[in-house]
Amino acid sequence: MTNSEIKELASKYLINNYGERQIALVRGEGVYVWDADGKRYLDFVAGISTNNLGHCHPKVVSAITEQAKKLIHVSNLYLIEPQVKLAERIAELSFADKCFFCNSGAEANEAAIKLARKYSKEKFGENKFEIITMKKSFHGRTITTITATGQEKYQKGFEPLSPGFKYVNFNDMKAIEDGVTENTCAIMVEPIQVEGGINVPSDDYLPNLRKFCDNNNILLIYDEVQTAMGRTGKLFGYETFGAEPDIITMAKALGGGVPIGCMATKAHIAESLTPGSHASTFGGNPLVCSAALASINTIVEENLPENAEKMGKYLMQKLLLLKEKFPLIKEVRGRGLIVGAELNIEGKEVVNKALEKGLILNCIGTNVIRFVPPLIINNGHIDQAIDIFGDVLSEITKN
Catalytic residues, by residue number, are 138, 223, 252
- Phi/psi for 297 (5° steps) reads -65, -40
CB atoms within 10 A of CB 118: 19
Instruction: Give me the amino acid identity at 50.
Output: T
Kindly provide the residue ranges of all beta strands, DSSP E only, lying in 4-129, ordered along the sequence.
25-29, 32-35, 40-43, 98-102
Distance from C-alpha of 254 to C-alpha of 256, rounded to nearest angstrom = 6
Is there a contact between 260 and 106 (Cβ–Cβ < 8 Å)? no
H and E: helices and strands count for the chain: 14, 15
Instruction: Give me the amino acid identity at 63.
Output: A
* 54 SS3 class: coil
Is there a contact between 109 and 226 (Cβ–Cβ < 8 Å)? no
| CA distances in angstroms from 13 to 1, 8, 10, 23, 344, listed in the order given | 16, 9, 5, 16, 37
Helix-helix angle 286-301:304-325, to 10 degrees: 70
Q: Which residues pair with 132 in a beta bridge?
A: 166, 187
Among 200, 289, 253, smallest CA distance to 52 is for: 253
Kindly provide the residue ranges of all beta strands, DSSP E only, lying in the chain, ordered along the sequence.
25-29, 32-35, 40-43, 98-102, 130-134, 165-168, 184-189, 219-223, 247-250, 261-265, 329-335, 338-343, 359-360, 362-364, 368-371
Distance from C-alpha of 45 to C-alpha of 361, rounded to nearest angstrom = 6
C-alpha count within 13 angstroms, C-beta hemisphere, residue 153: 9
According to DSSP, residue 45 is labeled S
